Amino acid sequence: MSKILKNITFFIILFLVPSITFGFIIYLIFNISNIDFKIAKASENSLNNYDVNNIVLKETDILLNINSTIQMYKNSSAFASLQSALNFMEIKVGEKELIEQTSFYTEKPIFNNKNWIWGNPNNQFVGDVNGDLLNSVNKIDLQQSTSLGIYNDGLLKTAQKYRPDSFATKDVKMEEIISLLRKRNLILVWLANDKYYDQKEEFISGENTFTAFKFDVMLLTGISNNKTITTFYFLNTQNGSKLELDEETFYKYWYRLQNQILVVK
């Protein structure tokens, strides 16, 4: 009898245990695949239903989905960029209204036999929004110029009429910009125009000396990093396009204007 039991036990072990083991392996394979599928499906759905308020796509990527604005005048990128920022914050204001809320220095540059004299872009818009900072072969031609523009401190006065906590600062570091953007702040940056990067001229306003650069003001909308290249994204109000600059190029143009920004918050 014991011999029969031993034989039965042997056959159970021989056939039943492998069957259970095989079934368990099949179960694991199916469920792991199912888990992977669910994860992939969830990821796909999160992209399809992307919420612009959730600006962090992954650890190093930031993206704000902001509608493009085309500036109304030749040299009004600062106002068009500020309009885009305020509109994104659901403040309905137009470019013309922002211009009306801003102080202007409308006189043309004057040469006093020693220095060029013009307005202070830290206090007000210097020149005509539909004018231009003209250039000769190798430098800015102030004699023919009709518009410089406005710096961050000057535009801040206008921004604070709509968002009192806004602030302007210079000599900003890259990590500071990333930190500000992660906190859902909207950042306007001042970039030297690439076509006239080396063309400049000095002028004075009161006790201050300025270097006249041809520049554009753009709204920073995102940053991405693929481990080899960091890319910055901007709204280009000249034509309503979205501009991409690598970190080196961005810093080169930004540095010309003292790394200045205006944070709308």
Q: What is the pLDDT along the chain (265 residues), one digit of tens a residue?
A: 555 545 555 444 445 545 555 454 444 444 433 433 332 333 233 223 323 333 333 456 888 989 889 999 999 999 999 999 999 999 999 999 999 999 999 999 999 999 999 999 999 999 999 999 988 766 789 999 999 999 999 999 999 999 999 999 999 998 899 889 888 889 999 999 877 777 888 999 999 999 999 999 999 999 998 777 889 999 999 999 999 999 999 999 999 999 999 999 9
Question: How much is the pLDDT for 40?
Answer: 30
HSE (side-chain half, CA atoms, 13 Å) at 245: 22
Helix (H, G, I), strand (E, B) or coil at 244: strand
Question: How much is the pLDDT for 234?
Answer: 97
Question: How much is the pLDDT for 4?
Answer: 53
The answer to whether 153 and 129 are in contact (CB under 8 A) is: no
Question: How much is the pLDDT for 136?
Answer: 74
The answer to whether 125 and 103 are in contact (CB under 8 A) is: yes
User: How far apart (Å, rounded) are the C-alpha atoms in residues 131 and 133?
Assistant: 7
User: How far apart (Å, rounded) are the C-alpha atoms in residues 88 and 86?
Assistant: 5
Is the Cα dihedral 190, 194, 197, 203 positive or negative?
negative
Radius of gyration of the chain (CA): 30
* Token output for 160: 């604070």
The answer to whether 152 and 121 are in contact (CB under 8 A) is: no
Question: How much is the pLDDT for 19?
Answer: 53
The answer to whether 136 and 143 are in contact (CB under 8 A) is: no
Question: How much is the pLDDT for 198?
Answer: 79
Q: Could you tell me the pTM of the whole model?
A: 0.76
Close Cβ partners of 79 (under 8 Å, ≥ 6 residues apart): 71, 95, 98, 99, 102, 129
Question: How much is the pLDDT for 46?
Answer: 28
Question: How much is the pLDDT for 60?
Answer: 61
